[in-house]
Amino acid sequence: MVFRVIPAVDLKGGKVVRLVQGRRDKVTVEIDNPLEVAKVWVKKGAKCLHVVDLDGAFGGKLVHEDVIIKIAELTEVQVGGGIRDLKVAERLLNAGVDRIILGTLAVKDVKAVKRFAKDYPGRVMIAVDSKKGKVVVEGWIKNTELTPVELAKLYEDCEVSILYTNIDVEGLVSGINIERVREVVESTTLPVYVAGGISSLDDVRAVKRCGAVGAIIGSALYTGKVRLEELLGEEA
């Protein structure tokens, strides 16, 4: 599988934002016109975008569906945030979204998500959102007793991918915890995408060396700490 560097487009209140550790009250970046932002990343060479409806994640219901579908017309996209109804997931897939990211639902109704994944092979991502070593759901605010490795293993018999996010370093632009990343990647045969704290070319290379198939980059791009064109050189 080709390694991908994927810019994040996080939506809140009709704007593209970056949050610190997923906290809605800690906004570090705020940009109008998400569609134009998406066009910039595509023009710079991004082959896929990671689109998250933060209002949906916090409220439990997708809010930015219209703009998400417009972004999906530009390039390959994977979309998450508040998709807790499989009818909504199906509607997005039929509207041109390439992959759906399921987190809360993937923990709460494993059987239903597995059935859905078998109907849409390769088009479902399981969000493994980790805070202090345990999976969290419902917009990263509700704790579970599952570890990231345990959640990933629940879906080993499905044609899905794993999206591992270490919330402890999310949005801090301070680097990754590569040991945590390696633990998840080496524990599963499923393809793993990594998000959270990736803030340099060295971070991207470390994620790639671990065997992950993709790196999601957010705050480091929006704050100018890294240039997308430089990171895209790692795609191969």
Q: Which residues belong to the active site?
A: 10, 129
* Cβ-count burial 157-189 (b if 16+ within 10 Å, e if not): ebebbbbbbbbebbbebeebebebbbbbbebbe
Instruction: Find the radius of gyration of the CA atoms of the chain.
Output: 16
Task: Measure the CA–CA gap between 176 and 132, rounded to whole angstroms.
Answer: 14
Show the DSSP H helices in 2-85 as ranges. 34-43, 54-59, 65-72
* Chain position carrying tokens 């705050």: 219
